[in-house]
Amino acid sequence: MLKRLYIKNFTLIDLLDMEFETGFSVITGETGAGKSIILGAIGLLLGQRADTKSIKQGTDRCVIEAHFNLEKYKMKEFFERNDIDYDAQDCIVRRELTAAGKSRAFINDTPVSLSLLKELGEQLVDVHSQHQNLLLGKQDFQMEVVDILAENQTLLGDYAAQYERLQKKQHELHELEEQIRQNRQNQDFIQFQYNELQDAQLQEGELEELEQQRDMMAHSEDIKTSLFTANNCLTAEEYGTEPQLRKALSALNSICNILPEATAWTERIQACYIEVKDLAQDMEYQLSNVEFDPAEQEQIEKRLDTLYSLQNKHHVDTVAELIELRNKYAAQLQDMENGDEALDTLRNEIKQLHDNCEKLASKLSQKRQKASTIIEKQMHERLTALGMPKLQFKISINTTTLRRDGHDEVAFLFSANTSSPLQPIAHVASGGEIARIMLSLKAMISGAVKLPTIIFDEIDTGVSGKIAERMAEIMQEMGDKDRQVISITHLPQIAALGTVHYKVSKQESTQGTISKMQRLNEEERVNEIAQMLSGSDVSEAAIANARQLLKHS
């Protein structure tokens, strides 16, 4: 529940530091006093988008901070999952805005994203404004109400997982069908391209090897001349390296017995001699193999032309890319050949997923039908007590195609009297009737969803007298069940039933208009309720009436 709200430099609020209590509290104040400003500040704590215009004029930043007690609401998992310190007795949520346009959010002094702040905010506070009354006519909201009261959350999660898989497989099927259709349109072309590349018998590295062979043939005479010259330098009897090394070895061998160093030199020259002799033999062998063969050269040029032509045709630079393209065409042809089998496999998977979804959707529908009967009964009892004894309220559930929340269409049907036919609630209910219906639904939902704090912003619109008093009693009952209920109201009957009464007022100061909030004591409550009863001129009768209302509460 909300323990404390701190607001600084927000719109007309200079500084507000207010503590709140459990149970049912009320906030009153004249129109324009600043009640909506306080709600706006709370909205920022719940993750709403910020506007720098919200910062009080003449200041460079505003701060909004709230302290919550979470001991009874089992929310530790949220904090552990997001690596945030958890303090069940004092959870601090803060939002800071600067005039430069920067917005920062914190949970227990840990910086968090706006989306995470919003996720937590949805578990902490439910603000019901007059705008939310419009939700009553929305089918999604009506479905959500039924699912909450049917306790369908786990089943909805199971269904959503299956439905997401179904949609994914249906998308895969559509893409595969389109791919097969396009491939079959181009089948002859793909087959021709594949055959051409396959017939080319491509091998990686072949192009480079052929280019090297071509270059050798083109320079065969130069190669022969160079090899012959080099070989002569090594082997010629008069001046060749090999004969000279033999002579050196012979000379040194003759003195090895008398000059010890000659032995080492001999070994070194022997090694050189062997290396030179091997080189000479390799060159001689290569020289015998270097021949110009016009037929072979023509064959190499023809093969190179084939490879170059394929590269140009397919806009690639290497034979490896041609091989990759050939394999791609092969895979496409294989897909065409196996396309029907793949389609059948996907269709079988889709059928199985569809059957799973239908089974889960049927379970959802059964629980919704069961819950709707209970909701109809409780709504009739609650609304009768709120001055609508002849109402008709029915929840229509019709089966349709599978959707993200099952295969049901839910509609709230309503008639204020027994003689008029049931119609969609948004078409026939008045503002006062919608307010009473929404309060009744909220009271039912609050029993199923353990929200710490519920704020009603003038939910009493369109009602007065005994009906207003009964609405206040409902909110009071909601506040008695480990929950905090705060009602912003203009009606004295509701204000009198609050355990704690806060007043928002607007004052003029040297710095301009400012909005203030105070907690009223007993005498101040009497005066405030008397003023709500009689206007600015508070009479003795109004004061007596106010005391009677408070005494009755």
Residue 474 counted as domain residue: no
CATH (domain of 53): 3.40.50.300
Confidence category of residue 133, pLDDT binned at 50, 70, 90: low
Any domain includes 170: yes
Residue 370 lies in a domain: no
What confidence category does residue 281 fall into, taking pLDDT thresholds of 50, 70 and 90? confident
Residue 289 pLDDT more than 80? no
* Contact status, residue 484 vs residue 25, Cβ threshold 8 Å: yes
Listing DSSP states for 432-449 in one string gives HHHHHHHHHHHHHHHHHS
**Both 202 and 172 in a single domain?**
yes
Q: With contact defined as beta carbons under 8 Å apart, do 437 and 409 qualify?
A: no
Residue 396: partners with Cβ closer than 8 Å, 6 or more residues away = 409, 410, 411, 412, 413
**CA gap 519, 16 in Å, rounded:** 12
How open is the CA angle 423-374-449, to the nearest 5 degrees? Answer: 100
Claim to verify: residue 87 and residue 221 sit in the same structural domain: no
CA angle 420, 424, 426 (to 5 degrees): 110
- Written as six digits, the tokens of 216 are 């050798």
CB 472 within 8 A of CB 494: yes
Domain boundary among 311, 334, 362: 362
Q: What is the pLDDT of residue 515?
A: 87
Same domain, yes or no: 123 and 202: no
pLDDT band for position 465 (50/70/90)?
confident
Distances in Å between the Cα of 553 and the Cα atoms of 109, 195, 503 are 41, 93, 18
Same domain, 551 and 514: no
- Statement: residue 332 has pLDDT above 90: no
Burial class (CB in 10 A: 0-12, 13-18, 19+), 223: middle
Separation between Cα atoms, residue 33 and residue 532, nearest integer Å: 14
CA distance 230 to 300: 29
Read off the pLDDT of each residue in 505-527 and give the average, rounded to a whole number.
86
Residue with token string 């012959």: 228
Check whether 269 has a pLDDT greater than 90.
no
Measured in Å, how far apart are the chain's first and last C-alpha atoms?
Answer: 23
pLDDT for 537 beyond 80? no
- Is 93 exposed, middle or buried, given 0-12, 13-18 or 19+ CB atoms closer than 10 A? buried
Are 292 and 273 contained in the same domain? yes
Helix or strand holding residue 334 (H, E): helix 319-385
Mean pLDDT across 414-435: 87
Q: Which domain holds residue 503?
A: 1-129+484-520
In a domain, 497, yes or no: yes
Residue 503 is assigned to a structural domain of this protein: yes
Lowest-confidence range among 27-41, 319-333, 400-414, 445-459?
Answer: 445-459
- If asked whether residues 123 and 205 sit together in one domain, one would say no
In the listed set 339, 362, 385, which residue is the last one of a domain according to the structure? 362
Residue 542 belongs to a domain? yes
Number of structural domains the chain divides into: 3
* Residues 180 and 319 occupy one common structural domain: yes
Place 157 in a pLDDT band, splitting at 50, 70 and 90. very high
Query: Which pLDDT value is given to residue 413?
Result: 93
Residue 258 lies in a domain: yes
Would you call 6 helix, strand, or coil by DSSP?
strand
pLDDT of residue 118: 92
Tell me: do 267 and 122 sit in the same domain.
no
How far is the C-alpha of 77 from the C-alpha of 367, rounded, in Å?
Answer: 28
* Domain identity same for 37 and 164: no
Q: Quick check: 183 pLDDT over 80?
A: no
Tokens 């005391």 map to which residue? Answer: 547
Q: Which pLDDT belongs to residue 443?
A: 86
pLDDT computed for residue 131 by the predictor: 64
The mean-pLDDT minimum among 217-221, 259-263, 266-270, 455-459 falls in 217-221
Q: With respect to residue 444, please indicate whether it lies within any of the assigned structural domains.
A: no
Q: What is the mean pLDDT of the chain?
A: 87
Mean pLDDT, residues 341-366: 94
Q: Is the pLDDT of residue 134 over 70?
A: no
537 and 499 in one domain? no
Which residue, chain included where needed, has tokens 């009198």? 496
Quickly count: other Cβ atoms within 10 Å of residue 399's Cβ.
11
Is 115 in the same domain as 189? no
Top mean-pLDDT range of 36-40, 460-464, 506-510, 531-535? 36-40
Cβ atoms of 240 and 233 within 8 Å: the answer is yes
160 and 74 share a domain? no
DSSP H/E element including 368: helix 319-385
Name the domain boundary from 362, 385, 408: 362
DSSP secondary-structure letter at 499?
Answer: S
Q: What is the 3-state secondary structure (H, E, C) of 19-36?
A: ECCCEEEEEECCCCCCHH
